[in-house]
A and B are shown apart, each in its own frame.
Chain A
Amino acid sequence: MDFGFEANGLGKRYRRRWALREVDVAVPQGSITALVGPNGAGKSTMIKAGVGFERPTTGRVLVHGVDPWRDRARAIAQVGYVPQAPSLYRELTVADHVHLAVTLRPGFDPVLARARLDQLSIPLDSRADELSGGQQAQVGLALALGARAPVLLLDEPLASLDPLARREFLHVLVDAVRAAGATALLSSHVITDIEQACDRLLVLGGGRKLLDLSIAESLAAHRIVDMASAADDVVGTFMDATGESVSLVRSRAAAPAHGRPATLEEVVLGHLAAGRDRPAVRPVAA
């Protein structure tokens, strides 16, 4: 199988703290993978390593088979990146941004980028600082899509968007990725939205990989029980929306199913709870 994004033994240390440690990930080509985890889980670090913005302390990242730290030019040519904050030039109009991309990136498709912006009725002659947060995120996405890159890395682009803007953003993303057969790695906190858009789930916690399955497998492989028995393979225990303690357990094909099916949010919460309880990434010894 070919992979759009791979991390092999990836580790990143900032001074005495490991942001990522020994992470192995393989994102299949053509998939949209949700990268989920709490703040400080290492999501941004992993995505930035994919754009060559962070140098791995251990291991390596491959984007469409290219190591961004060793061959940044080739790797960047494979990547469309949407940063956490839109990072637009406030002095420039939307049209200027498209033109900027044309001057900076060989092969950039301004027609595609403008078409995306037209679809969303984002005025090309508006300055970036006149746009709403959702529109700015859409401009960032249009620029990433105009790059016609086989891999899209999106670093929490939904974080500051309202629900409608999030839905629009994901709709555009899914359409574009499916049409181009691209691979997308989308980091986000908003699990309900990504369930509709993504086909894989990658959970990071404390700098380590906690779960890496397709969405369907993730849902099928887990159940929620109110009171776990000794026979249950408990992943993690957390409080549900009513304040009751519940446990996420692994489904067993041989055993009769009990409890109820887990939602994607519960799968994530269960694994994050497990990650929280597990000694994860400790500071480097002095």
Chain B
Amino acid sequence: MVAAASTASRILGASRITARLHRFELIGFAGLAVLGVLATIVIAAQLDAVGWTAACDEAMRRGAVTPRDCEFKVNEFYGIVSSRGWIVSGLTGFVPLAAALLIGVAVVGREIERGTTRLAWALTPSRLRWLAQRLVPVLLFVAVIGLVLGAAADRWIAAAEPGIDPANAFAGFGTRGPVLAARALFVLALAVAVGAALGRALPAVMVGGAIAIMGIVGGSEVHQRILRSEAVVIDEAAFEPGDLWIDQRFRLADGTLIGWDDVERYDPPPAEFDDETVWPTLPMVTIGVPGSRYGEVAVREIAALGGGMVVLLGLTAAIVTRRRPG
């Protein structure tokens, strides 16, 4: 009992010291996160108050006759989305990743740069213990603001696109929900590893930032290719706004799918076009991934990012145990 209390006290003490070492970053990013949540709550409430319903959204999307009630609201609704939406998406998307990058490089890189590792590594028989003391509170912080702002982004997407269910929609994939937190934790692990390798904070921010951008863009590209290989044919009428659109095809009578390049061969265009002309006349289908698969795909992305994070933290541990303290 006493030993457990002593261990808990040590962990709390170590966390308090780590928090003091990063207090400017923690306070700054916590403030921005609160701002992001408040902005989301306020602006989403403003959108809700407009009364632009899922029915309005559906009618406009399908090009159907818009209910008269919706006509008065469309300008106000999209006016708010376009004029204030960037505040929400900027804060929710930017803060977790920026926090991860700037705090991450400081965890090891700044300590090596300032020479404090000479003191700490000479005191501790285990550099991994030191790394864990520095890393765990920061990991928790980034995870919490990632999850909170991810939830805020979910709320935003629900307000800005009333026709979708955020839990079953690919809209804003990667910039909301737990995937956002996973991306932030991946960037944190990357920044910690780069900081440990370079031993200097500013170059680590630049190199870590560049690698993070390449990593996220490259990872998204790979993920997109995987999704492309898993895409199914969805009839035009059945395509929901939460589905992931990948491509468009035309269906021939025998069920064969063709693209725009082949349309003229199977469905010659009329000699003259006017406002009434409908062409192509072949039925259109969408190649996409149903929004109902969002949860499964999100879990897969989180697992991939988590695996990458574990590899990067392992790399950091290897660097920390071998390198000079600066």
A68 to B115, CA, bound (A): 20
B119 to chain A, nearest CB (A): 4
The residues of B that contact A53 with a CB separation of less than 8 Å are 118, 121-122, 324-325
B170 to chain A, nearest CB (A): 44
B84 to chain A, nearest CB (A): 37
CB contact between A88 and one of B13, B14, B116 (< 8 Å): that residue: B116
- Per-residue CB contact flags for chain A residues 141-179 toward chain B (1 = under 8 Å, else 0) read 001000100000000000000000000000000000000
Contact call A87/B17, Cβ cutoff below 8 A: no
CB contact between A76 and one of B17, B114, B116, B122 (< 8 Å): that residue: B122
Q: Is the interface of B mostly helix, strand, loop or mixed?
A: helix
CB contact between A103 and one of B133, B324, B325 (< 8 Å): that residue: B133
CB contact between A104 and one of B115, B120, B324 (< 8 Å): that residue: B120
Q: Does A23 contact B (CB under 8 A)?
A: no
Contact call A103/B122, Cβ cutoff below 8 A: no
Residue ID in chain B nearest A155 by CB atoms: B118
A116 to chain B, nearest CB (A): 16
- Per-residue CB contact flags for chain A residues 205-241 toward chain B (1 = under 8 Å, else 0) read 0000000000000000000000000000000000000
CB contact between B118 and one of A74, A80, A83, A90 (< 8 Å): that residue: A83
Residue ID in chain A nearest B10 by CB atoms: A103
Contact call A73/B125, Cβ cutoff below 8 A: yes
Q: Does A252 contact B (CB under 8 A)?
A: no
Residues B1-39 near A (CB distance < 8 A): 10, 13-14, 17, 20-21, 23
A87 to B114, CA, bound (A): 7
Interface range, B side: 20 to 34
The residues of B that contact A103 with a CB separation of less than 8 Å are 10, 13-14, 17, 133
Contact call A91/B123, Cβ cutoff below 8 A: no
Q: Does A120 contact B (CB under 8 A)?
A: no
| Interface residue total, chain A, C-beta cutoff 8 A | 34
Q: Does B129 contact A (CB under 8 A)?
A: yes
Contact call B20/A87, Cβ cutoff below 8 A: no
Q: Does A22 contact B (CB under 8 A)?
A: no
A145 to chain B, nearest CB (A): 12
Contact call B125/A140, Cβ cutoff below 8 A: no
Given A54-B324, A92-B21, A106-B125: A100 touches B120 (CB 8 Å cut-off): yes
Q: Does A186 contact B (CB under 8 A)?
A: no
Q: Does A101 contact B (CB under 8 A)?
A: yes
Residue ID in chain B nearest A73 by CB atoms: B125
A170 to chain B, nearest CB (A): 20
B43 to chain A, nearest CB (A): 36
Contact call B124/A105, Cβ cutoff below 8 A: yes
Q: Does B77 contact A (CB under 8 A)?
A: no
CB contact between B125 and one of A72, A85, A87, A90 (< 8 Å): that residue: A72
Contact call B10/A102, Cβ cutoff below 8 A: yes
- Per-residue CB contact flags for chain A residues 91-135 toward chain B (1 = under 8 Å, else 0) read 110001001111111101000000000000000000000000000
Contact call A74/B120, Cβ cutoff below 8 A: no
Contact call B23/A143, Cβ cutoff below 8 A: no
Contact call B125/A89, Cβ cutoff below 8 A: no
Contact call A87/B119, Cβ cutoff below 8 A: yes
Q: Does B130 contact A (CB under 8 A)?
A: yes
B233 to chain A, nearest CB (A): 59
A187 to chain B, nearest CB (A): 14
B253 to chain A, nearest CB (A): 74
Q: 7 A-B pairs, CB-CB below 8 angstroms?
A: A54-B324, A74-B125, A87-B114, A100-B14, A103-B10, A104-B124, A143-B123
CB-based closest 3 A-B pairs: A81-B122, A104-B124, A73-B125
Q: Which chain B residues have a beta carbon within 8 Å of chain A's beta carbons? A: 10, 13-14, 17, 20-21, 23, 114-126, 129-130, 133, 324-325
Q: Which chain A residues have a beta carbon within 8 Å of chain B's beta carbons? A: 48, 51, 53-54, 72-74, 76-77, 79-81, 83, 85-92, 96, 99-106, 108, 140, 143, 147
Task: Beyond A53-B122, A87-B114, A103-B13, list 15 extra A-B contacts (CB 8 Å).
Answer: A51-B121, A53-B324, A54-B324, A77-B125, A83-B119, A86-B119, A87-B115, A87-B119, A88-B119, A96-B20, A99-B13, A99-B17, A102-B10, A104-B124, A143-B123
